[in-house]
Amino acid sequence: MTTGTTVGGPERARAAVTLVAVLLGFLTLPMLMSGTTVALPHIAADLDASGAALQWVVVGYFLAAASMMLVAGSLGDLVGRRKIFSAGAGVYTAGVLAGAFAGDILLLDVARTVSGVGAAGVMAGGGAILGATFTGPARTRAFAAMGSTAGIGISIGPSLSGLLVDTVGWRATFGVFAVVGALILLASTLIVETRAEHRPRVDVPGALLLVAALTLVMFGVNQASEAGWSSAPVVGTVVAGAVLLAVFVLVERRRTDPVLDLTLFADRRFSAWCLACVFVAAGPAGVMVFLPTYLQGVNDLAPRTVGLIMLMQTVPVLIAPQLSERLLNRWGVSPRVLIVLSLMLIAAGNVWLTTLHPGIGAAGLLGPLATLGVGMGLAVGTTDGQAMDHIDADRLGMAAGVLNTVRTTGSTLTIAVFGTGVIGLLQARSGDGESAARIAAGDLAGPDRALQAAHYTEAWQIASGVIGAACLAAALTVGVLLGRRRPEGTRRTPTTALHEENR
């Protein structure tokens, strides 16, 4: 059963406990994501890693989360959303702890992948729990709080990790996150269980096809940085993944209880919010993951300093979700207008970063990073709440899984393409794949260091400009999809126009 907006004392207290427990999960996962990026150069030096293997420290986490998000959400509808949230917290904690003791890059990559599987349970289960516990304006406030909490995690991550890396090393960073993961697991025991009234069967073929397809596509994209986009293994892996995705769609259309009900996308407004989720996550991903490495490698900044600089992007993510809740609930701003504005700000921030250059300081980075942060923050608590309003109670877990899957897949593909694109551009200029991977990992050395920095900067500018253009196109597309056609014979008055815009 599901619970609506609470008004009584005991019910209100249970809802408050549920909100706090879920928010603790959404605090820690973004914190580990943003914090790990600051530690990458130190991980590379300690484990003698670069290229695709080093990228997998980040990509593997996102890949596992993206692959399992929809499965976790659908299982939550079946066996209970709290159970999935708790199981995810346990797996996440085990993976982070294993990463702290990893002796080589392959073991660390495996540990990060395990952490991503756990993150899928926490995020999909947590989003579904909020959707089942709150309705109406309370749901909007809950998701805005979720966005703010994620913003806090993103904001604290780089500075906390930079401090830990500078003082006791990157392994201690993972140790801290393992402790917090254990606290999430403990808090999950206080959540009230919810599940769908109709108990669907587990769609094993669909789940296996989805996981295999996403894994093949993202693995192939990630390997392109070393093997090249035209190499047979990369092309074969990506094509095989695309074929499995097509088979997945065919199988799901024939299943009685699919892991992904494709009729969800018949509502073009739900599809629009899914598209928005993709680019709200993908737009800032390249900056969040690769800018810390650039600043440490080209400008020779300490991790602690880089963490403080990244706060210029992440602090607005903390503040803006509460502003978006006020704009929607109190000031009557259209969700359509808000999300289009958010995507355009993300596009502008990426385009602005094409001015990146060696020696750039905090003053030069403030404008583009703050623009990205505001754009991301305005949207982060809006997309989920608006999308959930189009979904019936029995499919809340599936819907949360869809939203988190497209969001995480967008981030993962952006990180992989951004990284392989930068390495490819560096290789085209240096003619040496090993040197290109080393430079992209932040290791600039030798008498031609200035030339390496110039090539690295040029590659960074091109990648950032491409992402900015893609986000602008997404903003226009989402605006069109969220428009509403009027029935024939009706007249569009100012009152009906306002009503349509706020649906």
Q: Return the CATH number at 93.
A: 1.20.1250.20
pLDDT of residue 355: 93
Number of domains, the chain: 2
- The residue length of the chain stands at 503
The DSSP annotation for 441-462 comes to TT---STTHHHHHHHHHHHHHH
| Per-residue confidence band for 472, with pLDDT thresholds at 50, 70 and 90 | very high
Is 233 in the same domain as 101? no
Residue 2: inside a domain, yes or no?
Answer: no
Q: Is residue 3 part of a domain?
A: no
Residues 247 and 307 in one domain: no
Domain assignment present for 114: yes
Phi, psi of 309, deg, nearest 5: -65, -40
Alpha helices (runs of H) in 189-203, residue ranges in sequence order: none
Do the Cβ atoms of 346 and 375 come closer than 8 Å? yes
4 in a domain, yes or no? no
DSSP code string of 323-370: HHHHHHHTS---HHHHHHHHHHHHHHHHHHGGG--TT--HHHHHHHHH
**Residue where a domain stops, chosen among 186, 220, 254:** 254
Do 278 and 426 share a domain, yes or no?
yes
Residues 240 and 318 in one domain: no
H or E segment and range at residue 171: helix 170-188
Q: pLDDT averaged over the chain?
A: 80
> Which one, of 320, 67, 43, lies nearest residue 217 by Cα?
67
What are 362's two structure tokens? 């905090």
> Do the domain assignments include residue 1?
no
The pLDDT value recorded for residue 200 is 60
Question: Does residue 231 surpass a pLDDT of 90?
Answer: no
Q: Mark whether 497 and 400 lie in a shared domain.
A: yes
Pick from 194, 229, 254: which residue ends a domain? 254
| Residue 8 scores a pLDDT above 60 | no
pLDDT tens readout for residues 415-444:
778 888 888 888 888 777 778 878 887 888
Nearest-5° angle of CA 496, CA 499, CA 501? 110
Q: Which of 158-167, 174-183, 290-299, 354-363 has the lowest mean pLDDT?
A: 158-167
Indicate whether 98 and 233 sit together in one domain: no
Task: Report residue 397's pLDDT band, with 50, 70 and 90 as the boundaries.
Answer: low
Q: Give domain status of residue 433, yes or no.
A: yes
Range of the domain at 243: 204-254
Q: Which of 170, 149, 150, 155 is nearest to 36 (CA)?
A: 170
Q: Are 118 and 65 in contact (CB under 8 A)?
A: no
Least confident of 280-289, 317-326, 442-451, 462-471: 317-326
**Cβ atoms of 41 and 295 closer than 8 Å:** no
For residues 284 and 265, membership in a common domain is answered with yes
Asked if 297 and 397 sit in the same domain, the reply is yes
Q: Within a 13 Å sphere around the CA of 104, how many CA atoms are in the beta-carbon half? A: 1
Which is higher by pLDDT, 93 or 125?
A: 93
Residue 156 in any domain: the answer is: yes
Pick the last residue of a domain from 254, 276, 294: 254
Q: 109 with 196, same domain?
A: yes
Whether 337 and 226 share a structural domain: no
Is residue 111's pLDDT more than 90?
A: yes
Q: Is residue 393 part of a domain?
A: yes
Please indicate, yes or no, whether the overall pTM of this predicted structure exceeds 0.85. Answer: no
| Cα torsion through 41, 46, 50, 52, rounded to 10 | -100
pLDDT higher for 66 or 365?
365
Report the pLDDT averaged over residues 159-186.
80
> Do 359 and 215 fall within a single domain?
no
Same domain, 263 and 170: yes
Helix ranges, 48-135 (H): 51-79, 81-100, 105-133
